[in-house]
Chains A and B, each alone.
Chain A
Amino acid sequence: MNKVIKIENGTKQGVLNFLEHLITTDKISGVLTLRKINEKGICDYGFISDAKELKFADPFAPVMPINAAQTLSSLTPTTKPIAAIIKPCELRGFVERVKRVQGSMKNVLLISYTCGGVLPLNTFQGDGSEKIIADYYNAISKGETPGSIRPTCKACEYFVPMMADITIPLLGNSESESECSLIMNSEFAIQISKEFQCEIITSELDSKIIDKVLAVRISEKEKLYNKTKVTKDGLDELVNIFGKCVGCHGCSRVCPICYCVMCDFESHNFDYNIEIFETELEQKGALRLPPDTVFFQIGRLAHMSFSCVGCGQCEDVCPANIPVATIFKKVGEATAGLFDYIPGKDLEEAIPVMIFKEEEFEEIGK
């Protein structure tokens, strides 16, 4: 059981009231949140430091213009506390980045919520999006899975935030229009909200709703995995799927885990010079251009799949419509499972390739 702040207002308005209090009483210097940038409802992430600007905030908008983990790590470390309202997978991405010394949890009030998934960027911003978004909110208030969300969101088991200072029950919360509860998970959250005038109770997330959604998500995940043939038919299917790759590397640019300024795959290490072309042509008689697209994908899988938080951003931005996220999620589940690792679950849990145990994999190399 945790301390819970009860606000007599809709969830969205309640959260904004709370943030307004934190900003005006100078508890935080600002908040990172989704906000509307025009009447059409287009959203971006904004860092808001003036309470007046909060009227544009739309913290629960079902869209991920970027994975906020990237932005949040550029805002930290900060000397004055800030707040961030982000989705559970973005939070996990942020934790993974902090593990890689690309940010700091210190002085960041992490607010997250039980997530109903996000719409693909084109759906959120496209024609008829108003109805789709209305249907979305309707479905998640009943704890259902909206049909329009990203495939990886439908299959996401980690919709309950991990490592959040404050958790907001949104998914399956039929009262979200009329009441707002903020579940305090950390001492930092309790301290910072001490002066906020409100009713305080003790409560926790409704486990019945969580279990119900989890069961649906797991069965959706199986369906999604069965649909992708890449893990069944080996090299041929891999070529079939990644053969469409245009080599833009957009998937790694938007990935919350891929932080390297100089990506190995974009370095000169794998440049083709005329000698290599000639050798390849001598052996094969023909050559794919641009080369190494499959190599890039397998290399990236081996390099970071164990930290994949399954946000689906890579798949969303892929100009060739390759189901990148699904493949990364599935391969990532296997690689992380090898080390009993859940990306973004715990800051103390070291990245698998950075540590070892003497007594493990003892059958290898015998």
Chain B
Amino acid sequence: MDETKFTPKIVGFLCNWCTYAAADLAGSSKTEISPLFSVIRVMCSSRIDHNLLLTTFFNGADGILIAGCHPGDCHYDKGNYYARRRYALLKNVMDTLKLEPERLELSWVSASEGKRYADVVNEFSKKIEQLGPNPIKKSSVF
């Protein structure tokens, strides 16, 4: 493999009910999707806590995408509202500490939005490719 070319590693935490289904739909509709994504299926976007996200970053992920049902459409009624607050909170901490908050992203993608899923993933992958590798990845001081 060409060492000089940066191939980002991106982790997507997808809600089981909406975005994971959207990813399925995108796949079965043969939509072209960035191959840099490792998908982790969670039962709800609110399942994701800060330590899970930080562990992912500290283990070398270049970017993290959280995706779930649109506000008002949560399978568990209101999980995504909590997820949104938590996301805003961590983003704020990363922003204050100047820790490249743009590596963390949240998006609402419903089960029928296969095309939107592909767009979100491709766009985010492009952004991370431009950002370059996560500085934590190669550093041994953490």
Point out residues on A near B: beta carbons under 8 Å: 230-235, 238-239, 243, 264-265, 269-270, 283-288, 291-295, 298-299, 301-303, 305-306, 330-331, 334-335, 338-339, 352-353, 356-358, 360-362, 364-366
Chain A residues near B137 (CB-CB < 8 A): 283
CB-based contact A356/B82 at 8 Å: yes
Q: How far, in Å, is B66 (CB) from chain A's closest CB?
A: 9
B54 adjacent to chain A (CB < 8 Å): yes
B40 adjacent to chain A (CB < 8 Å): no
Closest 9 CB pairs of A and B: A286-B140, A234-B98, A356-B81, A302-B50, A365-B108, A284-B140, A334-B96, A302-B93, A302-B90
Q: Considering only CB atoms, which chain A residue lies closest to B137 in the complex?
A: A283
Partner of B89, one of A298, A330, A352: A352
Q: How far, in Å, is A325 (CB) from chain B's closest CB?
A: 15
| Contacts across chains A and B counted by CB atoms under 8 Å | 112
CB-based contact B136/A361 at 8 Å: no
Q: How far, in Å, is A350 (CB) from chain B's closest CB?
A: 11
Point out residues on B near A: beta carbons under 8 Å: 50-51, 54-55, 58, 60, 70-72, 78, 81-82, 84-90, 92-93, 95-100, 106-108, 135-142
CB-based contact B107/A295 at 8 Å: no
Distance in angstroms between the alpha carbons of A224 and B89 in the assembled complex: 23
Q: How far, in Å, is A34 (CB) from chain B's closest CB?
A: 34
Distance in angstroms between the alpha carbons of A352 and B55 in the assembled complex: 23
Chain A residues near B140 (CB-CB < 8 A): 284-288
Q: Considering only CB atoms, which chain A residue lies closest to B67 in the complex?
A: A365
CB-based contact B72/A291 at 8 Å: no
Q: Considering only CB atoms, which chain B residue lies closest to A279 in the complex?
A: B59
Q: Considering only CB atoms, which chain A residue lies closest to B85 in the complex?
A: A356
Partner of A335, one of B72, B89, B106, B141: B89
CB-based contact A298/B96 at 8 Å: no
Q: How far, in Å, is B3 (CB) from chain A's closest CB?
A: 14
Q: Considering only CB atoms, which chain B residue lies closest to A302 in the complex?
A: B50
Given contacts A306-B89, A365-B70, 16 further A-B contacts (CB under 8 A): A233-B98, A234-B100, A238-B99, A243-B141, A292-B142, A295-B54, A331-B96, A334-B95, A334-B96, A335-B93, A338-B88, A339-B85, A356-B82, A357-B81, A358-B71, A365-B84
Distance in angstroms between the alpha carbons of A291 and B54 in the assembled complex: 14
CB-based contact A284/B138 at 8 Å: yes
Interface centre among B54, B100, B135 (most CB of A within 10 A): B54
Q: How far, in Å, is B68 (CB) from chain A's closest CB?
A: 8
CB-based contact B142/A338 at 8 Å: no
CB-based contact A365/B99 at 8 Å: no
Partner of A264, one of B51, B70, B95, B98: B51
Q: List 11 A-B contacts (CB under 8 A).
A: A235-B98, A284-B138, A292-B58, A293-B142, A302-B89, A335-B93, A338-B89, A353-B85, A356-B85, A360-B85, A365-B108
Q: How far, in Å, is B87 (CB) from chain A's closest CB?
A: 7
A294 touching B92 in the complex, CB below 8 Å, given contacts A234-B100, A353-B85, A361-B84: no
CB-based contact B142/A305 at 8 Å: no
Distance in angstroms between the alpha carbons of A282 and B83 in the assembled complex: 34
Chain A residues near B99 (CB-CB < 8 A): 234-235, 238, 298
CB-based contact A299/B92 at 8 Å: no
Q: Considering only CB atoms, which chain A residue lies closest to B87 in the complex?
A: A364
A356 touching B93 in the complex, CB below 8 Å, given contacts A239-B142, A283-B138: no
CB-based contact A269/B138 at 8 Å: no
Distance in angstroms between the alpha carbons of A294 and B93 in the assembled complex: 13
Distance in angstroms between the alpha carbons of A366 and B112 in the assembled complex: 16
Partner of A299, one of B50, B71, B86, B138: B50
Distance in angstroms between the alpha carbons of A135 and B118 in the assembled complex: 67
